[in-house]
Structure 1
Amino acid sequence: MNSPPSLNVYRHDTDNRALVTLTGEIDLNSAPLVHASLERCLRDGIHTIDVDVTAVTFCDCSGLNAFLYALIHTAAAGGSLQLHHPSPALERLVALTGSGSLFLALPDAFAGSRPPPWPSPVNQVAHRLPPALTALPGGVL
């Protein structure tokens, strides 16, 4: 039986800047590790965070969500977070969600504001499909 793919996190600090290198897959199971690693930088007083995603072979929306939460928390602390060397698939995910510009320049609106809390898996609500269209009188949709 194959073991599930893993995510490795490496961090290298220089003064108040950190280079966080991620290797592997970022999905629902590994996104909390991304979140915790980036939050740890802030707790350690790091306000400039560079994330090298060159070796990330897969990233789903839970991974993107972890990056966005880290971005908001970093901006609220007066810092910056940038993704470097994303794969074409990650670039596409960021582009499709319209979040690409957030990782290039932080909006001033976030500076000094309190970031939202990281959602607990217990409190997360599953996405639901909209209700099916009901037929109008006469069978017309």
Structure 2
Amino acid sequence: MTAVDGLHTAVLSSDGRTIVSVSGEVDVTTVPRLRHALDTALTRGSRAIDVDFGAVPFCDCSGVNVLLGAWHRARAGGVPLRVTGAEAPVVVRLFQVLGVERLLASRPPP
């Protein structure tokens, strides 16, 4: 797990799935750490990537831009990427306002 300016990330792979765990606020100052973690996940050759936002209390548009960039790169490689666990009202609302909740967000698998 790595931390920059209060944002913690961890990239774990198992059985063809990669999970990027994120905790802390995602904003213009911390988004390079998120981008690095997503880039790492994209190089692992996974069949699917889940970005766990369960411990993210805040995300701004710069975070959404990084998520969308990773989503496009993953999709180009035939790999589904989704954001799981996004529960913070401000994060959920941001995804709704920007119209990306169907594209990015989903509940974690059982």
Q: TM-score, normalised by structure 2?
A: 0.84
- Any conservation in 2 of the 1:58–1:90 contact (CA below 8 Å)? yes
Tell me how far 1:55 sits from its aligned partner: 0.7
RMSD: 1.7
Name 1:83's counterpart in structure 2.
83
Question: For 1:93, what is the secondary structure of its paired residue?
Answer: helix
Structure with the larger strand share: 2
> Any idea what the Cα deviations from partners look like across 1:60-87, whole Å, max 9, x if unmatched?
1001111110101110010011111112
Q: 2 CA distance for matches of 1:19 and 1:59?
A: 19
Q: 2 CA distance for matches of 1:74 and 1:33?
A: 18
Question: For 1:20, what is the secondary structure of its paired residue?
Answer: strand
| Structure with bigger RCO (C-alpha 8 Å, 6+ apart) | 2
Name 2:67's counterpart in structure 1.
67
User: Runs ≥4 in structure 1, deviation > 4 angstroms?
Assistant: none
Percent of counterpart pairs with the same letter? 33
Q: 1 CA distance for matches of 2:39 and 2:46?
A: 10
Q: 1 CA distance for matches of 2:105 and 2:25?
A: 23
Structure with the larger helix share: 2
Q: 1 CA distance for matches of 2:57 and 2:104?
A: 19
Structure 2, unpaired ranges of 5+: none
Question: For 1:39, what is the secondary structure of its paired residue?
Answer: helix
Tell me how far 1:94 sits from its aligned partner: 0.5
> Any idea what the Cα deviations from partners look like across 1:97-125, whole Å, max 9, x if unmatched?
111111259xxxxxxxxxxxxxxxxxxxx
